Amino acid sequence: MTIKEPRDTIVLGSGFSSLSAACYLAKDGHKVTLIEKNPSYGGRARQLKKQGFTFDMGPTFYWMPDVFDSFFKDFGVHTSDFYQLKKLNPAYQIYFGEKKSISIPDTLEETCRLFENIEPGSGIKLENFISRAKQNYHLAIDNLVYNPGENLGEIITWETIQKLGLFVSTIRSQVHRDFTNPWLRTTLEFPILFLGSTPAHTPAFYNFMNYADLGLGTWYPEGGMYSVVEAMVKLADSLGVKLLNSTEATHLEIHDKKVISVKTNQGKISSDLVVSGADYAHTEKLLPPAHRQYSEKYWSTRKFAPSALMYYVGFDKKLTGVSHHTLFFDTNFETHAESIYQTKEWPEEPLFYASFPSLSDSSVAPENHEAGIFLIPIAPGISDPESIRNQYFEKIMNRLEKVTGQSLSSHILFWESYSVSDFEKDYHAYQGNAYGLANTLLQTHILRPKMRSRKLKNLFFTGQLTVPGPGVPPSIISGKIVSQLISKEYERTF
Ligand SMILES: Cc1cc2nc3c(=O)[nH]c(=O)nc-3n(C[C@H](O)[C@H](O)[C@H](O)COP(=O)(O)OP(=O)(O)OC[C@H]3O[C@@H](n4cnc5c(N)ncnc54)[C@H](O)[C@@H]3O)c2cc1C
C-alpha cells in the first residue's frame, strides 16, 4: 500500500506482536519508532546466557511453521534467510510414571502406529480425528484468526455456521468419546494447554491445535526461539524501524482525543499513531483514568492463562531418558489444574515441563553438558518468595531423578528461577501472567479486549491480550491484523 503521508508511529514493546506490527507499519510507509523498556528485545522470549549456556527464557515450542513462513514472505524474504529449522524427532516425550513414557514421533503415520499399539483401533481414529482437526486449522487460519474482532460479521460464513456445534462441545468430550487409554487422552489434551485453559473448558473447535501438533510437527530454530526474535529485529531494522531499548513509556499525553506524545524515561517522543504490544492493562494505566476503556474490575474478572515458575539449569553432564521437550505428567492433572484456576494456590504435586535444547543444538551448552529449562504452570498473582522457589526446585529435581532413573543433584552447576513477580517487574504483566488471556469461548474474537481504543482515535493494541490470543504464532498474526486495521483507518480518517 502507498500512503499519502507517513505518520510518526510509536510501537510500545518488542515482543513478537510489536516487532510484527512495526515491520508491517514500516512497510506501509509509516515512520516507526519501537520502544522497549528492557535492555534486550523479544519481550517474554528473551534469552539468558550464563557460564557458556544459553536459555530461551519464554517460548520453546516452535509450532505452526506456516505462520512464520507467511510472515517473512510478506516482506519478500524467507524464514531460511534468517535461521535454520530442524524437525524434532521425537517431537516430545511424556512421562506418566517412573520410567513409563511415550515419545511422539515426527510423522502422523508413525504416531497412528504408536496409538494403535497402545489401544487397538485407535490408529484409524487418530487419523480421522486429525483429518477433522486439519479442516478446522485451515478454516481458522483462512477465515478466522486474521480478523480484528470488531464484529461477528467477520467470521460468519457458511463454513463456520456448519461448525457451530464444535463451539458448544469441548475438547475433553471429543477426546474421551474416541479414546479410552489415559496416556492417549493426555497426549491429545496436552496441546490445549497452550491456549491457557483446560480441555474441559475449551471448545472442540480448538482441536486445530492437535493438527498443529501431530500434523505440522514440532520444529526447532537453530540457536533457539531467540533466533526468531533476532530475525524480526533484523527485518525491522532493514525496513527503517528505529529500535530503542531501555526506553520505558511512562505516560501517554492526550489532546483532542488523540495521543500526541509518549513520555519515556529517556524523554518525550511525539506521535501521530501509537500501537501498544505491552500488556494491555498496563498500557491503559499510562493514560489518564477518563481515557481508559477497561476498569480494574474488568481485568480482575477475566480468565487469565497461567503464570509460571521457571528454572534455567546448567548440568555438568549429559542427561539420559529425556528428549528435547519432555513433559512430566506423572501426577494428577485435575488436581494441578484446580490449583491454577480454582484455589489459586501452589500445587502440591505439580506437573511440569522440561526442555533440554542442548540435545538438539550443541551451541547452547558446553560440550558434554546439558541446558535444562523447567516450567511449572501456576496461578497468576500468587506470591513467589525465594523459600517457595527453593522448595519447588528440590521437588522437581527429585522427581526428575526418580522418574528418569538417574542421579543429578551433584551435577547441577547453577540454577536461576523466574516467576510471577519477575513477569510483573520485567514486563508489567497483569498479576504476573505468562501467557496473557486464556482462549475460552467467552474470551474469543469480539469478546477479547479490543485492538482499537474506543476513547482515543489513534491508539491501537496488539499482542497476546487482544486478538487472536496467546502464543508466538498468534502474536505475530496480531501484529499483522493491527497494521491492517490501521491501514483501513488511515484511509478513512487521517
Ligand atoms: C514461559 C513461557 C513459555 C511460553 N511457551 C510458548 C511456546 O512454547 N510456544 C509458543 O508459541 N508460545 C509460548 N509462550 C507464549 C508466547 O511467548 C507469548 O504469547 C508471546 O511471546 C507474547 O508476545 P507479545 O508481543 O504479546 O508480548 P510480550 O512478549 O510480553 O512483549 C511485551 C513487551 O512490552 C514491553 N513493555 C511493557 N511495558 C512497557 C513500557 N511501559 N514501555 C516499553 N515497553 C514495555 C515488555 O518489556 C515486553 O518486552 C510462552 C510464554 C511464556 C511466558
From the centroid of its chain, how far is CA 6? 32
Q: Which atom of ligand 1 is nearest to the CA of 423?
A: 53
Alpha-carbon distance of 320 to 359, in angstroms, equals 10
The type of residue at 62 is: Y
From atom 32 of ligand 1, which residue's Cα is the shortest distance away?
278
Alpha-carbon distance of 135 to 396, in angstroms, equals 39
DSSP 304: B
pLDDT value for 143:
87
313, β-bridge pairs: 372, 415
Q: Which atom of ligand 1 is nearest to the CA of 18?
A: 25
**Residue 424 CA to ligand 1 centre (angstroms):** 12
Alpha-carbon distance of 51 to 412, in angstroms, equals 12
441 Cβ contact list (under 8 Å, min separation 6):
167, 203
**Residue 169 CA to ligand 1 centre (angstroms):** 30
Alpha-carbon distance of 471 to 171, in angstroms, equals 19
Domain boundaries along the sequence of the chain: 8-84+223-301+437-493, 108-216, 303-427
Which candidate, 490, 14, 478, places its Cα nearest to that of 237? Answer: 14
Alpha-carbon distance of 413 to 411, in angstroms, equals 6
From the centroid of its chain, how far is CA 39? 21
**Residue 64 CA to ligand 1 centre (angstroms):** 18
**Residue 101 CA to ligand 1 centre (angstroms):** 31
**Residue 305 CA to ligand 1 centre (angstroms):** 13
pLDDT, averaged in runs of 10, over the chain (494 residues): 74 98 96 98 98 98 98 98 98 97 98 98 98 96 93 88 86 96 96 89 92 98 98 98 98 97 98 97 97 96 95 98 98 93 95 98 98 97 98 98 97 98 98 92 92 96 96 97 91 51
Q: Which atom of ligand 1 is nearest to the CA of 310?
A: 1
Tell the CATH superfamily of the 8-84+223-301+437-493 domain. FAD/NAD(P)-binding domain (3.50.50.60)
Cis peptide before 288 (omega within 30 of 0): no
Ligand 1 pocket, Cβ-based, cut-off 6 angstroms: 12-18, 35-38, 43-45, 58-61, 248-249, 277-278, 282, 308, 310, 375, 427-428, 434-436, 463-464, 470-472, 475
Tell if the pTM clears 0.95, that is, is over it.
Answer: yes
**Residue 284 CA to ligand 1 centre (angstroms):** 17
CATH topology of domain 108-216: Guanine Nucleotide Dissociation Inhibitor; domain 1 (1.10.405)
The type of residue at 183 is: W
The type of residue at 273 is: L
pLDDT value for 255:
97
How large is the greatest C-alpha to C-alpha distance in the chain, in angstroms? 68
**Residue 381 CA to ligand 1 centre (angstroms):** 17
pLDDT value for 494:
43
From atom 52 of ligand 1, which residue's Cα is the shortest distance away?
58
Query: Could you tell me the sign of the dihedral formed by the alpha carbons of 111, 117, 119, 121, in that order?
Result: positive
DSSP 215: I
pLDDT value for 4:
58
* Beta-strand relationship, 325-328 and 92-97: parallel
**Residue 17 CA to ligand 1 centre (angstroms):** 8
**Residue whose CB lies within 8 A of the most ligand 1 atoms, among 55, 376, 435, 448, for a mutation test:** 435
